[in-house]
Every structure is written in C-alpha cells, then in structure tokens.
C-alpha cells in the first residue's frame, strides 16, 4: 500500500490523463476497425492503434513508479535499444563494446539518481576514453575505428541522449512532463505518417516528399497537418506542465515536432545505409523498439534543457530545478 501511495497512480490528475489517452485510442481503434479492409493504410493504422492500446497502460505504470524503479525501467529500455543498435550494425558479437555500453548506461542512471549533472555531462568523454582501451587490451587493430565510432554513437544516442528522460523526471512535475512529451512526439509521428499515406493512397494528389531518398513515405503536407494538430494536443494537455502559459506548451510542441522529426530522419539514414528496416518486433505495426525510441533521442535532451531554462528563469536566484 505504501508503494502505491508513493507512485503517481494515487493522483487523480494522472489517472484522468491515462483515461483520456486510453479513451482516445479506443475510439480511434473502433473507427479503424470498421474501415480496416480498405487498404494497407487502414490495416497498418488499426494494428498500430491496437498495439498502443496494449502498450499505453505499461507506459503509464512504469512512468508512475517512484525512484529508483522508474529509472531502472528507463535504463532497461535504453539497454534493449542499444542491443538492437548493435544487432543492426552487425557487431553484437563484439561483447566488450556491448557490455561497456551497458555499464555506461547504468553509470548514467546512477548520476541521474544522485543528481550529479556535471558527471553526466562528462560521461561521453569518459566513456570514449574507456572504450579506447578495449583494442589496446585485446591487442587488436582490425576494424577498431569502425567499432569505436559505432559504440560511441550508440552510447550518445541511446544512452546519454535518451536517458535525459531521467533528468526530466527530476524537474517539477517531471513524470507528468515525460508523459506529455511522449504523447506529443507520438502524436506528431503517427499523424504525419497517416496523412502522407492517406494522400498517396486515397487521392489523386501527388504529395511533396520531404526527403525522398531517406523517408519516401513522408510528405510536407503530412508534416504541416501533423504539426498543427500536435500544437492543438500540446494546448489540450498543458495541465501536465508546471505552467500552463503559452511559452511552455508552444515550446513543448515545437520540440516534439522538430526534435522528433530529426531523430526519425537520423535513424532512417542509418537503416537505409545498412539496408535493414527492423530487428525483432516491439509492438505490432510499429516495428522494433529502436523505431519507437528514435524520436526521443533528440526530443529528450532538447526538451529537458528548454524546460530547465524556462523553470530557472521563473525561479528566485539560487533556486535551481532538478537539484538533489
């Protein structure tokens, strides 16, 4: 009972937000159920919605856990994402680099737990120095430049960047903001893809491709519609922010739109260069875990520093948010 009381599951606002999100997903799922046979677009949309109906309760429960349990759950997700990255790169058998990355992620979690921001910011440099010792200790040089570069990329993207969600938790109403930015990021991505595919498959209009060699299924028309609706959602769920002012919710919406797009594009470049789309399956209709994490690798750090700055600028001198 004490564990329940210390989690967000005992707070009415959190439960109401969960109910609203689940209600929206169920309504959309019912709608897509009746039109699911109209083509690949509606079938994919229905599968994705069902998957999110299953995943959303777990997301809200994990996010509601008191520290350090929520941070442990975040670390496990980062480790699984890193595993998929190494599998994509064909270097999962290089266990020294893989385990070094896993240990680095746990070190990041520890610095978040104890509120040591300086150590966290120095982690990429310290990590790179540590993994540079691996080829020396193994007395090997073959392909080591490639292994070192890919390991550092994995740690930066799926460790250091993604784990900024843990720093967001330390801000005022941090757990609410993690849910908030996740909703915005997923809203933008799904609507952007859905509108682009709908225009292509159901109309005679030829949409303008954003980056045809990287993400041929996305269009500027889909981007525009999704951006507008994401800002509407940002306004509608602004009660999850520490302040409901225009500065906070507009900044959040822009971070989700621009940061999410950048993360998706960068990971799409990597996948297309490798010629591999997915490794394993996370949820039906969404691909592997990495395809869900990719948008947050840029959103998480940008959102944290934007919110940290906005909160700091409104606090008395000497009072810093996110402190131990």
**Confidence class for position 287, pLDDT limits 50, 70, 90:** low
Rounded to whole angstroms, the Cα distance separating 173 from 116 reads 20
pLDDT (0 to 100) of residue 315: 54
The pLDDT tens digits of the residues spanning 178-192 come to 999 999 998 898 888
Looking at residue 290, its pLDDT comes to 77
**CB–CB of 168/303 below 8 Å?**
yes
Q: In this model, does residue 8 exceed pLDDT 60? A: yes
pLDDT of res. 288: 64
Distance of alpha carbon 123 from alpha carbon 107, whole angstroms: 8
Residue 239: DSSP 8-state: G
Residues above pLDDT 90, as percent of the chain: 43
Distance CA 24, CA 187 (A): 12
Average pLDDT in the chain: 85
Using alpha carbons, select from 42, 57, 49 the residue that is nearest to residue 26.
49
Helices (H), the chain: 2-5, 12-35, 40-64, 69-89, 95-113, 117-131, 133-138, 144-154, 164-169, 174-202, 220-236, 246-274, 289-293, 296-313
Percentage above 70 pLDDT, the chain = 88
The pTM for the full model equals 0.86
Q: Which pLDDT score, from 0 to 100, does residue 41 have? A: 64
For residue range 186-226, what is the model confidence (pLDDT) as tens digits? 889 888 888 887 777 767 777 788 888 888 778 888 899 99
Q: Is the pLDDT of residue 87 over 60?
A: yes
Within 10 angstroms of residue 124's Cβ, the number of other Cβ atoms is 17
**Integer CA distances (angstroms), 274 to 4, 89, 91, 269, 278, in order:** 45, 8, 13, 9, 11
pLDDT 10s digits, 91-108: 888 889 999 999 999 999
pLDDT band at residue 322 using 50, 70 and 90 as cut-offs: low
pLDDT in tens, 140-150: 888 899 999 99
- Rounded to an integer, the average pLDDT of 292-296 is 84
């Amino acid at each position: 009972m004490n564990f329940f009381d210390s989690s967000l599951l005992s707070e009415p606002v959190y439960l109401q937000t969960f109910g609203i999100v689940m209600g929206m997903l169920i309504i959309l799922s019912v709608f897509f159920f009746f039109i699911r046979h109209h083509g690949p677009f509606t079938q994919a949309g229905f599968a994705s919605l069902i998957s999110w109906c299953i995943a959303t309760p777990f997301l809200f429960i994990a996010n509601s856990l008191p520290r350090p349990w929520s941070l442990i759950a975040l670390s496990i997700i980062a480790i699984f994402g890193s595993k998929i990255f190494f599998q994509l790169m064909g270097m999962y058998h290089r266990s020294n680099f893989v385990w070094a990355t896993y240990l680095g992620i746990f070190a990041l979690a520890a610095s978040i737990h104890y509120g040591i921001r300086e150590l966290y910011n120095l982690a990429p440099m310290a990590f790179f120095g540590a993994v540079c010792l691996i080829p020396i200790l193994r007395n090997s040089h073959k392909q080591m430049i490639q292994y070192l570069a890919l390991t550092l990329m994995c740690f930066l993207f799926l460790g250091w960047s993604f784990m900024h969600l843990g720093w967001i938790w330390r801000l005022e109403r941090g757990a609410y903001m993690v849910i908030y930015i996740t909703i915005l990021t997923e809203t933008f991505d799904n609507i952007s893809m859905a509108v682009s595919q709908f225009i292509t498959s159901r109309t005679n209009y030829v949409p303008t491709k954003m980056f045809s060699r990287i993400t041929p299924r996305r269009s500027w028309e889909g981007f525009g519609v999704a951006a507008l609706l994401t800002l509407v959602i940002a306004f509608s769920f602004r009660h999850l922010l520490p302040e409901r002012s225009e500065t906070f919710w507009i900044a959040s919406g822009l971070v989700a739109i621009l940061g999410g797009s950048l993360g998706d594009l960068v990971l799409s470049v990597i996948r297309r260069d490798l010629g591999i789309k997915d490794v394993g399956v996370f949820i039906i209709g969404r691909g592997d875990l990495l395809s869900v994490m990719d948008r947050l690798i840029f959103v998480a750090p940008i959102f944290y520093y934007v919110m940290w700055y906005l909160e700091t600028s409104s606090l008395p001198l000497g009072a810093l948010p996110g402190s131990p």
